[in-house]
Amino acid sequence: MGQNTILVTGGAGYIGSHVVKQLTTRRENVVVLDNLTTGFADAVVGGELVVGDTGDRKLVAELIEKYQIDTVMHFAAHTIVPESVADPLKYYRNNTTNSRTLLECCQAAGVEHFVFSSTAAVYGIPPEGIADENSPTQPINPYGTSKLMTEWMLRDLCQASPMRHAVLRYFNVAGSDPEGVIGQSTERATLLVKVACEAAVGHRTHVSIFGTDYDTADGTGIRDYIHVDDLAAAHIDALDYLRRGGESTTLNCGYGHGYSVREVLDMVERVNGAPLVIKEEPRRAGDPPVLIANAKRIRETLGWQPRHDDLEAIVRTSLAWERHLAEIRNAPAEAQAGG
């Protein structure tokens, strides 16, 4: 490969794999670095996969040199909020320390562009439940803090060097590749849409609603769910923006409106054509009642145009992928029964 190869860390994971698919569809040169702790080799549908760790300084430096990397997209991270509360140092090591090693290698090699997967969790509990990019960053769990610290390192490094960055703060990512080639295969999932779709295909007995006494129209929590295909497209737009000389920027990735837990579950029932077993449980610790993006800046800065701003499309693609996973799980048993 020649110039302009993109290093995608965590490209075998849920979101990274969707971005790799879009990048390679438009014939970008891509090398994925993933240690496969939560990712899957077969989710990497284009480019080259190198199995290794972002904290492996020697490997990262060699890759940047060998592939003449000019852009890094950094997805690799641990992502489970309750786990970060129970084992914070695990999160600071992987999400912060390993990111620092990666940044050091980028600085040494003169990497030009850096796109970073950040999170709405950096805002904590914003006033009125709506966060714009200038809202105070007050994370309420170590996961959010570990990502915010990487934002700061990146900001400071870009002030001290020619590197430019796009920090993308994702709100609630859901859905799967509309072509059905890849999807969210995460094990022991905790995210609402994934959990509800697992329940819909019988992989779980039920889905819980954590809190029915919030000060919202139906009493359940409200989130800004963004389709992973639109989020992946935002990364392509961010890449183009940085390539045409755009200055470093921080952008919310959401649609700017939300759905309640009950609205999500109603949609899963409607798309699946069957009722879910729903249990009402107390609030989950640390959950803000409402978390919605002010999503103006990403449209203005990148010209990003979402194509799937539609809860039904999110649920339809999630459920299709979950049915696919269920078929794979059930295949050996069926073969046995048939034999």
Ligand X SMILES: O=c1ccn([C@@H]2O[C@H](COP(=O)(O)OP(=O)(O)O[C@H]3O[C@H](CO)[C@@H](O)[C@H](O)[C@H]3O)[C@@H](O)[C@H]2O)c(=O)[nH]1
Return the active site residues.
143
Which of 76, 207, 226, 231 is close enough to bind ligand X by CB under 6 A?
A: 207
Contact flag: residue 76 with ligand NAD (CB under 6 A): yes
- Between β-strands 48-51 and 249-253, what pairing exists: parallel, antiparallel or unpaired? unpaired
Nearest approach, Cβ of 174 to ligand X (angstroms)? 8
Question: Among the candidate windows 35-43, 108-116, 119-127, 235-243, which touches ligand X by CB under 6 A?
Answer: 119-127
Count CB atoms within 10 A of the CB of residue 310: 14
From residue 313, alpha-carbon distances to 172, 177, 189, 228, 316 in Å are 15, 11, 20, 11, 5
Which of 7, 8, 12, 302 is close enough to bind ligand NAD by CB under 6 A?
A: 12
Question: Among the candidate windows 11-19, 35-43, 61-69, 203-211, which touches ligand X by CB under 6 A?
Answer: 203-211
Question: Do the beta carbons of residue 190 and residue 210 sit within 8 Å?
Answer: no
Angle at which helices 228-243 and 14-25 cross, to 10°? 60
261 binds, among ligand X, ligand NAD, none (CB under 5 to 8 A by kind): ligand X
Enter the tokens of residue 88. 């914070």
d(CA 227, CA 99): 26
- Give the bridge partners for 86, in sequence order: none
Contact flag: residue 141 with ligand NAD (CB under 6 A): no
Which of 5, 94, 272, 318 is close enough to bind ligand NAD by CB under 6 A?
A: 94
Which of 170, 255, 304, 321 is close enough to bind ligand NAD by CB under 6 A?
A: 170
Which of 5, 29, 54, 250 is close enough to bind ligand NAD by CB under 6 A?
A: 54
Question: Do the beta carbons of residue 252 and residue 171 sit within 8 Å?
Answer: yes
Could you identify the residue written with the tokens 């110039």?
3
Contact flag: residue 92 with ligand NAD (CB under 6 A): no
State which residue, 80 or 236, has the beta carbon closest to ligand X: 80
Contact flag: residue 119 with ligand X (CB under 6 A): yes
Nearest approach, Cβ of 148 to ligand X (angstroms)? 11
Which of 6, 7, 8, 13 is close enough to bind ligand NAD by CB under 6 A?
A: 13
Contact flag: residue 35 with ligand NAD (CB under 6 A): yes
Contact flag: residue 227 with ligand X (CB under 6 A): no
Look at residue 259 and give its three-state secondary structure. Answer: strand
- One-letter amino acid at 13 equals G
Look at residue 287 and give its three-state secondary structure. Answer: coil
| Number of residues lying near ligand NAD (CB under 6 A) | 29
3-state percent breakdown (helix, strand, coil) of the chain, nearest 5: 45, 20, 35
What values do phi and psi take at 253, rounded to 5?
Answer: -115, 100
Tell me whether residue 56 is exposed, middle or buried, using C-beta atoms within 10 angstroms of its C-beta: 0 to 12, 13 to 18, 19 or more: middle
Contact flag: residue 15 with ligand NAD (CB under 6 A): yes
Which of 20, 43, 102, 209 is close enough to bind ligand X by CB under 6 A?
A: 209
Nearest CA to 7 out of 114, 117, 104, 148 is that of: 114
Question: Among the candidate windows 17-25, 206-214, 267-275, 308-316, which touches ligand X by CB under 6 A?
Answer: 206-214
State which residue, 14 or 321, has the beta carbon closest to ligand NAD: 14
- Chain centroid offset of residue 106 CA: 22
Nearest approach, Cβ of 2 to ligand NAD (angstroms)? 25
List binders of ligand NAD among 108-127 (CB under 6 A): 117, 119
Nearest CA to 100 out of 169, 32, 162, 150 is that of: 150
Closest residue to ligand X, based on beta-carbon distance: 221
Residues within the interface to ligand X (CB under 6 A) = 79, 81, 119-121, 171-172, 190-192, 195, 207-211, 221, 223, 261, 284, 287, 291
